[in-house]
């Protein structure tokens, strides 16, 4: 977890350096590092499993 300088909240890192999850100040009830980290991991997991594609634009011939 890292503290961004220009944004309120936290940024939770993961196994890949390019995948970051923002956790806003009002999201976790408990603002300890462990709770924020787990909340960020939960958000990332939900993004990977619950999102549905709503539009695909294919411009191939």
The H or E element containing residue 7 is none
pTM of the full predicted structure? Answer: 0.73
What residues contact 20, with CB distance under 8 A and at least 6 apart?
Answer: 11, 12, 13, 14
- Residue pLDDT, tens place only, 2-51: 777 888 999 998 888 888 999 999 999 999 999 999 999 999 999 889 98
**Which sequence spans correspond to the domains of the chain?**
10-49
Indicate the burial class of 29 (C-beta count within 10 angstroms; 0-12, 13-18, 19 or more).
exposed
């Amino acid at each position: 977890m890292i503290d961004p300088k220009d944004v309120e909240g936290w940024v939770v890192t993961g196994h890949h350096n390019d995948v970051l999850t923002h956790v806003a100040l009002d999201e976790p009830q408990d603002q300890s590092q462990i709770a924020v980290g787990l909340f960020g991991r939960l958000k990332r997991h939900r993004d990977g499993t619950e999102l549905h594609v709503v539009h695909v634009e294919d411009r191939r011939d």
